[in-house]
Amino acid sequence: MREIRESINKTYSAKEYQVAVVGGGIAGISAALAAARNGAESVILIEKEFMVGGLATLGLVTYYLPLCDGNGRQVSFGISEELLRLSIKYGAESPNWYPKAWLENGSEEEKKQQRFKTQFNPYVFAILCEELLLKAGVTILYGTSVCSVGRTGNKVDTLFLENSSGRTAIAVESVVDATGDAVVCRLAEEDTAIFTQGNVLAGWYQYLDQGKNCVKILSLEDYPEETPEQFRPDIRYYVGSDAEMLSEMVIDSHKMLFEDWLKKKEENPDSTLTAIPAIPQVRRTWRLNGRSVRDDDPSAHFEDSIGVIANFGKRGPAYEIPFSCLCGNRVVNLIAAGRCISVINKMWHTARVIPACSVTGEAAGTAAALGNDFSSLSVPQLQKVLKKNGVLISL
Ligand SMILES: Cc1cc2nc3c(=O)[nH]c(=O)nc-3n(C[C@H](O)[C@H](O)[C@H](O)COP(=O)(O)OP(=O)(O)OC[C@H]3O[C@@H](n4cnc5c(N)ncnc54)[C@H](O)[C@@H]3O)c2cc1C
């Protein structure tokens, strides 16, 4: 190893934005839409890849998990429902995953039987989301990584970007961290925590078999609470905390899925590999360690609740999400959304899925439209706007 010092003494002419949303996954899409629709004058969505959707599209995770509690009651509304409907505007990927009871006025009994979830085509969904964002007036900046931030006191006022133009900067009033890995929180020296237990290897892929587009879900089940030792001590876990480990994980995933597909090819020489994940399939890496850390008690109620999410694995429980678990303790104009909000490990398992990311994204984007100091933002005012937009705030 060598010590290398970079000295950058450069002046930037920076565009100004009221709201910058970093990361164009489901949380970022929801946050940017909410900010633009709720009166933010200028909203920029910064995405390092060249497609929106994050894990849900580039990562080929195409199952939109339930908006309902499994007992016939819908708990997540607003943009999370809008995006589910949008994702299958041109049809669900398989008839089994079309939520007929919910979209075609089913009876209460039918809604108890069938959960409000679906399977979508990742490319159709990404393009439709892009259209929706542009229609709402959001500026999308693709191929751009936020690589550093400038802070004055307890506020982030600058984002430094790297893209094909080189290194540039924008001036911001507030920032939504929807990077999935709490990248902006870490750059801003907000308090964060890492999922030390690590991720199981995943390699979901798509292939054409006898003219039919198929999805192969190649991964072990995630483990909600057990440590690796209790769960499967014999396999490797990937913490995904840095680029080297993520690269190793992606290479191992490619090997695993390719071997699997080659076996299919032996059985059926016409089989064609059509899509592999374009970003690492990590479930949990870094998260905000916020003003509060949400546990997994479904009976807990919060005065500052900003939305409700379901439990995809169990029928019955649903969870209010407090505003305080989107906000940090150090930087007052930075708010987290999606799979990097502040929750205990067991709750992380539930709060990281697509509909939940949309719920927290909508709340974060709405808050950013209302002000740029989340430590003093009027939560009743935020709740009023969310309710007006159809969000269920509490149970
Ligand atoms: C193997 C696996 C299976 C899963 N199964 C399901 C399932 O069946 N159903 C379900 O609902 N959920 C499932 N999930 C979870 C779900 O897909 C994700 O947690 C959710 O989509 C995350 O959304 P997000 O917007 O928070 O983050 P991401 O989707 O991770 O989006 C973050 C975005 O930020 C961008 N970004 C990151 N850093 C920067 C930066 N510095 N500058 C600019 N852009 C940046 C990334 O490129 C990415 O597009 C699964 C996840 C995995 C890994």
User: Which of 331, 324, 336, 339 lies closest to 364, judged by CA?
Assistant: 336
Atom from ligand 1 closest to the CA of residue 219 = 1
Average pLDDT on 332-354 reads 97
* Rounded-to-10 torsion of CA 343, 367, 28, 69: 50
Predicted confidence at residue 233, as pLDDT, reads: 77
Q: End-to-end CA distance of the chain, in Å?
A: 55
Indicate if the pLDDT at residue 98 is higher than 90. yes
Give the confidence band of 43 by pLDDT, cuts at 50, 70, 90. very high
Residues β-bridged to residue 206: 215, 275
Ligand 1: does its nearest atom lie under 6 Å from the Cβ of 342? no
CA gap 351, 52 in Å, rounded? 20
pLDDT 10s digits, 5-30:
887 788 999 999 999 999 999 999 99
Question: What span, in angstroms and rounded, lies between the C-alpha atoms of 341 and 357?
Answer: 9
Residues 6+ apart with CB under 8 A from 369: 18, 19, 34, 35, 36, 38, 39, 40
How many Cβ atoms from other residues are within 10 Å of residue 378's Cβ?
A: 11
Is 197 touching ligand 1 by the criterion CB < 6 Å? no
Closest C-alpha to ligand 1, atom 5: 61
Distance 40 CA to ligand 1 centre (A): 25
Q: 334 CB contacts (<8 Å, ≥6 apart)?
A: 156, 174, 175, 177, 184, 185, 188, 190, 328, 374
Q: Residue 282: CB within 6 Å of ligand 1? A: yes
386: number of CA atoms within 13 Å, CB side? 32
pLDDT over 90 (residue 46): yes
Would you state the torsion angle of the CA atoms of residues 121, 349, 144, 80, taken in this order, to the nearest 10 degrees? 50
> Could you report the per-residue pLDDT of 161-189, keeping only the tens digit for each?
999 999 999 999 999 999 999 999 999 99
Return d(Cα 21, Cα 101) in angstroms, integer: 35
Backbone φ and ψ for 264, nearest 5 degrees, come out as -60, -40
**In whole angstroms, what is the distance from residue 354 CA to residue 65 CA?**
7
Distance CA(45)–CA(28), nearest Å, equals 7
Instruction: Write out pLDDT tens, residues 213-257.
Output: 999 999 867 776 667 667 777 788 899 888 999 999 999 999 999
The region of weakest confidence among 78-87, 193-202, 299-308 is 193-202
Are 65 and 353 in contact by the 8 Å Cβ rule? The answer is yes
**Tokens representing residue 316 in the block:** 């019955």
Does the C-beta of 343 come closer than 6 Å to ligand 1?
Answer: no
Ligand 1 contact via 186 beta carbon (within 6 Å): no
Residues written for the chain = 395
d(CA 45, CA 217): 30
pLDDT at residue 338 above 70?
Answer: yes
Give yes or no for residue 55 CB within 6 A of ligand 1.
yes
Counting residues of the chain whose pLDDT is more than 70, the rounded percentage is 98
Structural domains of the chain, ranges and CATH numbers in brackets: 15-195+285-388 (3.50.50.60), 205-275 (no CATH)
- Asked whether residue 211 carries a pLDDT value surpassing 90, the answer given is no
- Residue 235: per-residue pLDDT: 84
Q: Report the pLDDT averaged over residues 300-313.
A: 97
pLDDT at 54: 98
Q: How far is the CA of 180 from the centre of ligand 1 (A)?
A: 6
pLDDT for the residue numbered 8 = 76
At 273-288, the pLDDT tens digits run: 999 999 999 999 999 9
Closest C-alpha to ligand 1, atom 42 = 145
